[in-house]
Amino acid sequence: SDDESGGEEYLFKVVIIGDSAVGKSNLLSRYARNEFNMHSKATIGVEFQTQVMDIDGKEVKAQIWDTAGQERFRAVTSAYYRGAVGALVVYDISRRTTFDSISRWLDELKTHSDTTVARMLVGNKCDLENIRAVSVEEGKSLAEAEGLFFMETSALDSTNVKKAFEIVIREIYNNVS
Ligand code: GDP
Ligand code: MG
């Protein structure tokens, strides 16, 4: 859409999904505020954070949504997904069950979206190499099979966090422009 100055403005909704405690809220707080919380509670959560990015000289705003812990009850609502054009689908590399859940999250995302969604598979907590339960190769091949981008991240030490969000936002921009 056009703004008053005649330029274009972009506002994209991005959702973060995945099992409880994989690090969704900390990925967002690391990206949006450069903050990490070792004892974050599932109930504490803002609805969304808006981040501004410059792509090809255009101001691109990403409204990034975090669950308020509803995923514990398998009850993330359709309102959460409504209008999303990007998604980070997160598991914890130290807990295999969270990786096994990915296909269910992808199904749910597909069910609730009526448009092309730029999707990134995120293996978070890559700082926990000593207790790794899912190999990089497994993450890569699932992403390839499902047609997703893939990245391992650490919200704790900041590895690839900015990159993961920015690749998704850039892909959304490419999809619409
Ligand atoms: P959410 O339920 O998916 O939103 O997960 P949280 O962001 O609340 O994180 C759950 C727990 O994992 C918290 O104790 C965090 O401190 C911890 N955590 C989150 N990200 C990382 C990470 O990258 N590395 C490590 N070691 N711990 C993390
Ligand atoms: Mg959370």
State whether the beta carbon of 30 lies less than 6 angstroms from ligand 1. no
pLDDT, averaged per 10 consecutive residues of the chain (177 residues), comes to: 60 95 95 88 69 93 88 77 96 98 95 92 98 98 98 98 97 91
State whether the beta carbon of 26 lies less than 6 angstroms from ligand 1. yes
For atom 19 of ligand 1, the residue with the nearest CA is 23
State whether the beta carbon of 131 lies less than 6 angstroms from ligand 1. no
Can you give the pTM of this predicted structure?
A: 0.93
pLDDT at position 176 is 87
Q: How far is CA 43 from CA 18, 21, 46, 66, 67, in A?
A: 15, 11, 9, 11, 9
pLDDT at position 60 is 95
Pocket test for ligand 1, best of 26, 37, 39, 89 (most atoms within 8 A of CB): 26
pLDDT at position 10 is 92
Q: How far is CA 89 from CA 6, 131, 151, in A?
A: 35, 21, 10
- Helices 161-176 and 24-33: crossing angle, nearest 10°? 80
Q: Is 6 left (phi over 0), alpha (psi -120 to 50) or beta?
A: left
Owner of token pair 């004892």: 39
Q: How far is CA 98 from CA 102, 123, 150, in A?
A: 7, 10, 16
State whether the beta carbon of 125 lies less than 6 angstroms from ligand 1. yes
pLDDT at position 1 is 47
Q: Which atom of ligand 1 is nearest to the CA of 28?
A: 7
pLDDT at position 126 is 98
Question: What ipTM score was computed for the predicted complex, to two decimals?
Answer: 0.99
Coil vs helix vs strand at 61: strand
pLDDT at position 45 is 52
pLDDT at position 72 is 75
Q: Is 112 left (phi over 0), alpha (psi -120 to 50) or beta?
A: alpha
